[in-house]
Amino acid sequence: MGMKENLPHVFRPLQVGALHLSHRVVMAPLTRMRAAQPGDVPWSLNAEYYGQRASQGGLLISEASQISDQGKGYPSTPGIYSPEQVTGWKLVTKAVHAKGGYIFLQLWHVGRSSHSSLHRNGGLPVAPSALPLKGKVLTSQWKQVPFETPRALALEELPGLVEDYRNAAANAKAAGFDGVELHSANGYLLDQFLEDSSNRRTDAYGGPIENRARLLMEVMDAVVDVWGKDRVGVRLSPYGIFNDMGDSDPVALFTYVLQKLGERGIAYVHLIEPRASNAGGGGGASVQGAPSAAEVFRNVFAGVLLSAGGYSAQTAEDAIAKGLADAVAFGRYFISNPDLPERLRIGAELNPYDRSTFYGGAEKGYTDYPALVKV
């Protein structure tokens, strides 16, 4: 048994939609910018990385993967819209399944958080409204330049956008994934529609909360149509400030969103805690005085709740024991500890992570972190 008794709640099984998890240590979606070029194609190195982190009955959530060329926001992030990408992802899902693990693909459209150099036709990034982000963006040549002012999506473009998500979901199924997670957090496109700081539309997709939530619900329904509700999750960041986000009434907005998602009976909702509100930005900034997202919204959503953001073994155990979360997603420590669930189970020391190798590069800081037992 080892020291399993120390984290009894973390190592209890859990039913998540169609999946029967043997433990509650989930790998969070982590952008690593190591897809093969040209074409943003997953390859053997990515398969090795995910295979290392798979465990019997454990759930991994893939790095965010753009649903279309237009959805891309960083160099060398993988896509899920070309035949080559589907073939590449098959290597990843096969490696995870060989270890008895599960893997969901995170579906991504970055919206305004992009640069025209990243798009094949050089088109401007798109958004609900033509409001630029502050700060810098990485170009296709890995140069930092100021964000461009995005182009506001026309009403007649939105059905095509929903179809891009539907096609990406179908591609994820063809690639052998166990389900998909919609990325509706961290100031990317679906989040940009939700929050009133980035959505100034005056049509059916702007203004009142139900209008701002419309696109997320249409996308969710399209993806559920492909996968079934018990193999779809969604990630939200109610108090996120990364990518200049914010809403005038986050509790009302996300209460509505979570109620509507609950009615759909999806596999899980994945909430990012305010202490990790800058997640993805490399910084540790958090919203001062913001409450725990899990505490505020736990009772609003009827289904399985994953919580992410700066957890330790003990705080994960406490959150699950108190019923604030059903499972906890770990990010940085899953980067540096391929066998993180086992280390937590026996109380082993954790490898420190190296921030300088998080994004881009090859094996270093990716597949070369040691496991306790070489497998």
> Mind telling me the catalytic residues?
188
Roughly what angle, to the nearest 10 degrees, separates helices 250-264 and 214-227?
A: 20
- Closest to 254 (Cα-Cα) out of 242, 270, 266, 265: 270
Helix (H) or strand (E) holding 102: strand 102-108
- What are the residues whose beta carbons fall under 8 Å from the beta carbon of 160, sequence distance 6 or more? none
Q: Beta strand pairing status for 19-21 and 14-16?
A: antiparallel
Q: Where are the alpha helices (DSSP H) in the chain?
A: 44-53, 83-98, 158-174, 189-194, 209-212, 214-227, 250-264, 293-297, 313-321, 332-336, 340-346
Q: How many CB atoms neighbour CB 227 within 10 A?
A: 23
- Residue 168 CB partners (closer than 8 Å, separation 6+): 65, 67, 68, 80, 81, 107, 180
Buried b (16+ CB within 10 A) or exposed e, 194-209: bbbebbebeeebbeeb
* Residue 321 Cα distances to 11, 80, 250, 266, 286, angstroms: 11, 37, 26, 23, 25
Encoded tokens for 168 = 């990406």
Q: Which two tokens stand for residue 359?
A: 């994004």
Task: State how far Cα 73 lies from the chain centre.
Answer: 14
Task: Map tokens 């929050």 to a residue.
Answer: 195
CB–CB of 329/306 below 8 Å? yes
Structure tokens at 258: 């979570």
Q: Is the peptide bond before 38 cis (omega within 30 degrees of 0)?
A: yes
- Distance CA(137)–CA(114), nearest Å, equals 7
CA proximity to 328, closest of 318, 342, 336, 338: 318
